[in-house]
């Protein structure tokens, strides 16, 4: 591994030195001397390889994130403003936060509090769109379908909160009872296509875990992405900073 690292670094350095030497009309540094210098440096600073790999990984992740942002912007209407999507808050609010979540995801449950607080305290500023993605199997699929049915009957917020309060393992009958208590009947066939469409959207945006948040201000040509859960105050501050 170390010899590979030495060879790669030496090759890169050699390219640069050769170009410099040709430009200045100076002799090229001997390859073996260069490899010796690099090897000695790595032996004395082995952490340099790890640091370089971490930096490289960060650069690659940033590139991937930028690509996802661009794709999200191209799918803006479907992602942020699709009619009938489960949502909380004023539909005319300037800032929309889309959450890809799973009702059985513990981190998604944790993020419910700051989202509710932002909508309740700033009803004319924030709107939250919930896109349930069943990462945790059949019961998550049922929960997502139940949420879609509740949304179509204008009972989403009450059903959404009740689903989040259920304890694992989720049971289908418990979720159906939540709908019944809110006066909603479930016809799974009518809403499974909605869930499938959300799954396809998540795949297109390479959402590979929950929660993921996409943030957009009306009229803006930028989409912001937040991956994973974080403390409530830090999350609210980050949203504020992103949407100034």
| Tens-digit pLDDT profile for residues 9-55 | 444 444 444 444 444 555 556 777 777 877 787 788 778 777 878 78
In a shared domain, residues 40 and 92: no
Q: Is the pLDDT of residue 168 over 90?
A: no
E-strand stretches of the chain: 87-89, 95-101, 126-132, 212-217, 224-227
Q: Is residue 67 domain-resident?
A: no
Q: Is residue 42 domain-resident?
A: yes
Q: Is residue 54 domain-resident?
A: no
In a shared domain, residues 44 and 83: no
Confidence at residue 60, expressed as pLDDT on a 0 to 100 scale: 77
The whole-angstrom separation of Cα 139 and Cα 148 is 14
Per the structure, the count of domains in the chain is 2
In a shared domain, residues 103 and 142: yes
Q: Is residue 213 domain-resident?
A: yes
Q: Is residue 168 domain-resident?
A: yes
Q: Which residue has the higher pLDDT, 187 or 244?
A: 244
The whole-angstrom separation of Cα 199 and Cα 186 is 20
pTM above 0.85, yes or no: no
The answer to whether the CB of 125 falls within 8 A of the CB of 93 is: yes
CATH number of the domain bearing residue 215: 3.40.30.10
The answer to whether the CB of 192 falls within 8 A of the CB of 200 is: no
Range of the domain at 180: 76-242
Average pLDDT of the chain, as a whole number: 86
Q: How confident is the model at residue 173 (pLDDT cuts 50, 70, 90)?
A: very high
| Tens-digit pLDDT profile for residues 92-125 | 999 999 999 999 999 999 999 999 999 999 989 9
In a shared domain, residues 116 and 227: yes
Q: How confident is the model at residue 82 (pLDDT cuts 50, 70, 90)?
A: very high
In a shared domain, residues 230 and 125: yes
């Amino acid at each position: 591994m170390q010899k590979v690292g030495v060879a790669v670094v030496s090759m890169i350095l050699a390219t640069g030195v050769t170009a410099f030497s040709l430009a200045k009309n100076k002799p090229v540094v001997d390859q073996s001397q260069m490899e010796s210098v690099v090897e000695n440096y790595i032996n004395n600073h082995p952490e340099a390889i790890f640091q370089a790999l971490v930096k490289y990984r960060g650069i690659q992740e940033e590139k991937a994130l930028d690509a996802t942002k661009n794709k999200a912007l191209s799918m803006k209407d479907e992602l942020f403003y699709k009619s009938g999507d489960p949502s909380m808050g004023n539909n005319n609010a300037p800032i929309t936060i889309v959450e890809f979540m799973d009702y059985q995801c513990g981190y998604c449950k944790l993020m419910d509090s700051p989202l509710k607080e932002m909508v309740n305290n700033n009803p004319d500023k924030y709107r939250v769109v919930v896109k349930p993605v069943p990462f945790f199997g059949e019961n998550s699929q049922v929960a997502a379908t139940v949420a879609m049915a509740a949304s179509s009957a204008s009972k989403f917020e009450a059903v959404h909160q009740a689903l989040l309060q259920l304890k694992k393992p989720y049971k289908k009958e418990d979720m159906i009872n939540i709908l019944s208590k809110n006066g909603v009947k479930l016809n799974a066939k009518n809403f499974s296509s909605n869930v499938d469409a959300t799954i396809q959207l998540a795949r297109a945006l390479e959402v590979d875990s929950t929660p993921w948040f996409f943030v957009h201000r009306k009229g803006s040509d930028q989409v912001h992405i937040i991956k994973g859960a974080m403390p409530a105050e830090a999350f609210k501050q980050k949203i504020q900073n992103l949407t100034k």
